[in-house]
């Protein structure tokens, strides 16, 4: 039969397309991939709206029980709901490949995803270079390929979209070793944390990519009623409270910004009243 990959869009459960909803109503089983993004609605609210059970497919499910779901799709219509669009995360591209390798027919129902919705900040999607992902640093793990890619984009006159890390259902090293299914609280990287990591890389690598004066745009909850977009230099955005997840960061290439793009950026320019968080220097003095 068919594995349907159904994009839910970025807002809430109501953003599903009519075609997507028709499939959800008739499918044998409906799974919600809850590992690479979050929706503003809970699974329960979704079940009430769609009038049927929605099974959570979390990280463990995708890693361990996915094969069983694909086997089911050989004989039944199975729907997998994906927040945003369906091919914007490697997890879903892998799922697609695994299904095709098993001879499962895959049908995608597209929706709005973050990689195009960021156009709402006014920068033209045609002027973006490589998209990068910024992972949470640990004491011993500080990858920096995203910082190098940002440099490549800038040199080519292109803007950089930074997608920010999500950690859900993570186990501590101790729980992992002891095989205990105890999970750490979810963590979603904020615009502020992403800026801090970029500044710390600049101090370390000194490749002249990202400074406190670098102009950037923070975006939170794009496509939701509480969407927030603020543009300004990195040191100012550090003092903006962007609120709840999810967040993304854009580092535009100012050298090539067009007049139209500039009008929109100015529209989102940071205001004195946005600077609600303490300055970094003041924080250090308090410590
Ligand atoms: C792997 S991508 C998931 C993409 C999703 N399937 C889509 O098509 O939008 C997850 C990252 O995209 C960004 N993101 C997703 N939705 C967002 C939103 N509504 N507002 C801001 N950033 C968002 C965040 O940085 C988040 O960590």
| Ligand 1 geometric centre to CA of 37 (Å) | 6
Q: What is the pLDDT of residue 137?
A: 97
Cis peptide before 127 (omega within 30 of 0): no
pTM score: 0.94
Query: How far apart, in whole angstroms, are the C-alpha atoms of residue 112 and residue 211?
Result: 32
Tell me, yes or no, whether 144 lies in a domain: yes
Tell me, yes or no, whether 283 lies in a domain: no
Nearest residue (CA) to ligand 1, atom 11: 163
Final residue before a domain boundary, out of 83, 112, 141: 112
Do 149 and 231 lie in one domain? The reply is yes
Tell me, yes or no, whether 282 lies in a domain: no
Q: What is the pLDDT of residue 182?
A: 87
Do 134 and 28 lie in one domain? The reply is no
Domain coverage including residue 260? 115-277
- Confidence check: pLDDT of 84 > 90: yes
- Confidence check: pLDDT of 283 > 80: no
Do 152 and 258 lie in one domain? The reply is yes
Tell me, yes or no, whether 30 lies in a domain: yes
Query: How far apart, in whole angstroms, are the C-alpha atoms of residue 56 and residue 79?
Result: 12
Q: Per-residue pLDDT tens for 144-198?
A: 999 999 999 999 999 999 999 999 888 888 888 888 888 889 999 999 999 999 9
Q: What is the CATH number of the domain that holds 97?
A: 3.40.1010.10
| Ligand 1 geometric centre to CA of 287 (Å) | 34
- Confidence check: pLDDT of 287 > 90: no
Tell me, yes or no, whether 234 lies in a domain: yes
Q: Per-residue pLDDT tens for 226-238?
A: 999 999 999 999 9
Do 200 and 97 lie in one domain? The reply is no
Q: What is the pLDDT of residue 180?
A: 87
| Ligand 1 geometric centre to CA of 158 (Å) | 20
Query: How far apart, in whole angstroms, are the C-alpha atoms of residue 284 and residue 3?
Result: 53
Q: Considering its fold, how many domains does the chain have in total?
A: 2
| Ligand 1 geometric centre to CA of 92 (Å) | 13
Do 144 and 265 lie in one domain? The reply is yes
For residues 84 and 29, the answer to whether their CB atoms sit within 8 Å is no
Q: Per-residue pLDDT tens for 23-32?
A: 999 999 999 9
Do 101 and 200 lie in one domain? The reply is no
Q: What is the CATH number of the domain that holds 136?
A: 3.30.950.10
Do 137 and 156 lie in one domain? The reply is yes
Do 99 and 124 lie in one domain? The reply is no
Q: Tell me the pLDDT band of 63, cut-offs 50, 70 and 90.
A: confident
Final residue before a domain boundary, out of 70, 95, 112: 112
Tell me, yes or no, whether 122 lies in a domain: yes
Final residue before a domain boundary, out of 112, 143, 164: 112
Nearest residue (CA) to ligand 1, atom 6: 84
Nearest residue (CA) to ligand 1, atom 4: 88
Do 132 and 174 lie in one domain? The reply is yes
Tell me, yes or no, whether 127 lies in a domain: yes
Do 263 and 126 lie in one domain? The reply is yes
Lowest mean pLDDT among 6-15, 63-72, 190-199: 63-72
In degrees and rounded to multiples of 5, residue 87 shows phi and psi of: -115, 35
Do 67 and 200 lie in one domain? The reply is no
CA 78-81-87 angle, to 5 degrees, is 105
Q: What is the pLDDT of residue 269?
A: 98
- Pocket, ligand 1, Cβ cutoff 6 A: 10, 36-37, 82-85, 88-89, 113-114, 163-164, 166, 219-223, 246-248
Which ranges of the chain does DSSP label H, i.e. alpha helix?
A: 18-26, 43-50, 59-60, 66-73, 90-101, 114-117, 145-155, 173-177, 191-205, 234-237, 259-267, 280-286
Q: What is the pLDDT of residue 61?
A: 85
Please state the atom number of ligand 1 nearest to the C-alpha of residue 163. 25
Tell me, yes or no, whether 287 lies in a domain: no
Do 155 and 103 lie in one domain? The reply is no
Q: Tell me the pLDDT band of 58, cut-offs 50, 70 and 90.
A: confident
């Amino acid at each position: 039969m068919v594995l349907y990959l159904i994009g839910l869009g970025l807002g809430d459960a109501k953003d599903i397309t009519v075609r997507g909803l028709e499939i959800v109503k008739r499918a044998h089983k409906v799974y919600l991939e809850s590992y690479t993004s979050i929706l503003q609605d809970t699974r329960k609210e979704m079940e009430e709206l769609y009038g049927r059970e929605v099974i959570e497919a979390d990280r463990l499910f995708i890693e361990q029980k996915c094969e069983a779901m694909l086997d089911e799709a050989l004989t039944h219509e199975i729907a997998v709901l994906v927040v945003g669009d369906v091919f914007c995360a490697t997890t879903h591209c892998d799922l697609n490949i695994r299904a095709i390798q098993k001879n499962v027919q895959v049908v995608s129902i597209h929706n709005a995803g973050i990689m195009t919705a960021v156009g709402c900040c006014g920068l033209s999607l045609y002027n973006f270079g490589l998209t990068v992902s910024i992972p949470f640093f640990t004491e011993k793990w500080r990858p920096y390929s995203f910082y190098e890619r940002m440099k490549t984009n800038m040199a080519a006159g292109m803007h950089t979209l930074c997608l920010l890390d999500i950690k859900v259902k993570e186990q501590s090293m101790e729980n992992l070793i002891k095989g205990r299914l105890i999970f750490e609280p979810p963590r979603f990287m904020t615009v502020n944390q992403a800026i801090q990591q970029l500044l710390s890389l600049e101090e370390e690598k000194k490749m002249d990519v990202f400074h406190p004066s670098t102009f950037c745009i923070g975006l939170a909850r794009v496509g939701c009623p509480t969407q927030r977009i603020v543009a300004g230099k990195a040191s100012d955005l550090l003092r903006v409270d962007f609120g709840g997840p999810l967040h993304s960061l854009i580092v535009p290439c100012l050298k090539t910004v067009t007049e139209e793009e500039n009008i929109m950026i100015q529209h989102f320019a940071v205001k004195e009243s946005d600077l609600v968080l303490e300055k970094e220097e003041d924080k250090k003095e308090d410590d």
